[in-house]
């Protein structure tokens, strides 16, 4: 499941192991409604015959995404094909599977009575961690959906796009900067992090495999543009962090230096709000 901008074209490269000569079938799908997460509309199908062995495969889809929404690259089930996966997990990118989970009345597809007013669709859901790794892939074009501008778009959780700033995983000390044309008096800063919005939970009684949400930034500091540290946070586990200053901070730039939650999960922030008090 990949976030895609309107008009963008998805092409990807990945590695497979072919056990015996077989056909690889890959579909590009979207949801009928941009805000949904059910890949019921097939935009394009790619098929190729493959000989046994380890292969590097390129799938160059040509159909552009018709709207800002999530796109689904769907691999049809084939017992003779194994696909390389990655331990890297990124806010807004998720592997999902068409499967049955009787505990939540999921039988692979919802087929309501005709004229009932209820939609028919397939169930595509993630595997519980530590399973459900993302596809080990390289995209032909960068995903233009994780820019710093997202922190002020008015959304503090995913909708038809992730709505989050995601740091470069290779940047060991990523910095998110907010600048104003003139000096401001800031009395309060509110930061919203990722509490695992992409990962649905069937029931709170089932619990999570981790003690803390792996996408939530735990350690960070807030600085002025001149390098003065005004707040240091360690061991955070909350989605929304409110910081009130008894003496307003006077500055024309705020920098949030965020530590990656882990080596396989880059730091992400959904929203930053600054107030005069």
What pLDDT score was predicted for residue 116?
A: 74
Structural Rg of the chain based on CA atoms:
21
Give the rounded percent of residues in the chain with a pLDDT score beyond 90.
Answer: 77
Q: Based on the domain organization, do 132 and 22 belong to the same domain? A: yes
Is the pLDDT reported for residue 104 higher than 60? no
Asked if 180 and 60 sit in the same domain, the reply is no
| pLDDT at residue 103, as a whole number | 60
Residue at which a domain ends, from 139, 174, 202: 139
Q: Do the Cβ atoms of 93 and 32 come closer than 8 Å?
A: no
pLDDT at 110: 67
Residue 251, pLDDT above cutoff 60: yes
Same domain for 80 and 128, yes or no, is yes
Tell me how far apart the alpha carbons of residues 60 and 248 are, in angstroms, rounded to a whole number.
53
The arithmetic mean of pLDDT across residues 205-216, rounded, is 82
199 close to 90: Cβ distance less than 8 angstroms:
no
Give 131-163 pLDDT, tens digit per residue.
899 999 999 999 999 999 999 999 999 999 999
Q: Are residues 161 and 134 in the same domain?
A: no
For residues 11 and 49, membership in a common domain is answered with yes
Does residue 118 sit in the same domain as residue 163? no
- The CB-side HSE value for 59 (13 A sphere, CA atoms) comes to 23
Mind listing the pLDDT tens digit for each residue in 156-183? 999 999 999 999 999 999 999 999 999 9
Do residues 101 and 153 share a domain? no
- Residue 108: give the domain boundaries: 2-139
Instruction: Give the pLDDT confidence score for residue 211 in this predicted structure.
Output: 81
Instruction: Report the share of the chain in percent with pLDDT over 70.
Output: 91
pLDDT at residue 22 tops 70: yes
CA distance 180 to 105: 51
> Does 205 share its domain with 160?
yes
Residue 3: the pLDDT is: 96
Considering the domain architecture, whether residues 219 and 192 belong to the same structural domain is answered as yes
Same domain, 192 and 215: yes
- What pLDDT was estimated at residue 244? 96
Whether residues 113 and 173 share a domain: the answer is no
Q: In this predicted structure, what is the pLDDT of residue 133?
A: 94
Number of domains the chain is built from: 2
Residues near 256 by Cβ (< 8 Å), separated by ≥ 6?
A: 175, 176, 177, 178, 191, 220, 221, 222, 223, 269, 272
CATH at 237:
2.60.120.260
Answer yes or no: is pLDDT of 102 > 90.
no
Residues 195 and 263 in one domain: yes
Q: Give me the mean pLDDT over the 63-74 stretch.
A: 96
């Amino acid at each position: 499941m990949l976030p895609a901008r309107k008009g963008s074209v998805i092409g990807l490269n990945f590695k497979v192991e072919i056990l015996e000569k077989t056909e690889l079938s890959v579909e590009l799908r979207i949801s009928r409604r941009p805000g949904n997460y059910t890949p019921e509309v097939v935009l394009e199908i790619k098929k190729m015959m493959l000989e046994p062995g380890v292969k590097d495969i390129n799938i160059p889809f040509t159909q552009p995404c018709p709207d800002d929404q999530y796109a689904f690259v769907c691999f049809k089930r084939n017992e003779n094909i194994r696909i390389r996966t990655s331990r890297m997990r990124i806010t807004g990118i998720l592997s999902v599977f068409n499967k049955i989970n009787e505990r939540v009345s999921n039988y692979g597809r919802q087929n309501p009575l005709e004229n009932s007013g209820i939609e028919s669709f397939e169930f595509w859901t993630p595997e519980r961690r530590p399973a459900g790794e993302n596809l080990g892939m390289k995209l032909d074009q960068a995903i233009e959906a994780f820019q710093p501008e997202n922190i002020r778009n008015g959304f503090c959780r995913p909708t038809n796009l992730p709505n989050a700033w995601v740091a470069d995983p290779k940047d060991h000390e990523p910095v998110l900067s907010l600048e104003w044309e003139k000096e401001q008096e800031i009395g309060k800063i509110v930061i919203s992090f990722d509490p695992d919005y992409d990962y649905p939970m069937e029931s709170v009684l089932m619990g999570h495999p981790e003690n803390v949400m792996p996408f939530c930034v735990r350690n960070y500091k807030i600085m002025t543009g001149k390098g003065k540290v005004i707040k240091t946070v360690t061991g955070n586990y909350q989605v929304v962090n409110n910081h009130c200053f008894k003496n307003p901070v006077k500055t024309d730039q705020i920098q949030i230096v965020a530590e990656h939650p882990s080596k396989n999960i880059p730091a992400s922030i959904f929203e930053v709000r600054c107030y005069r008090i």
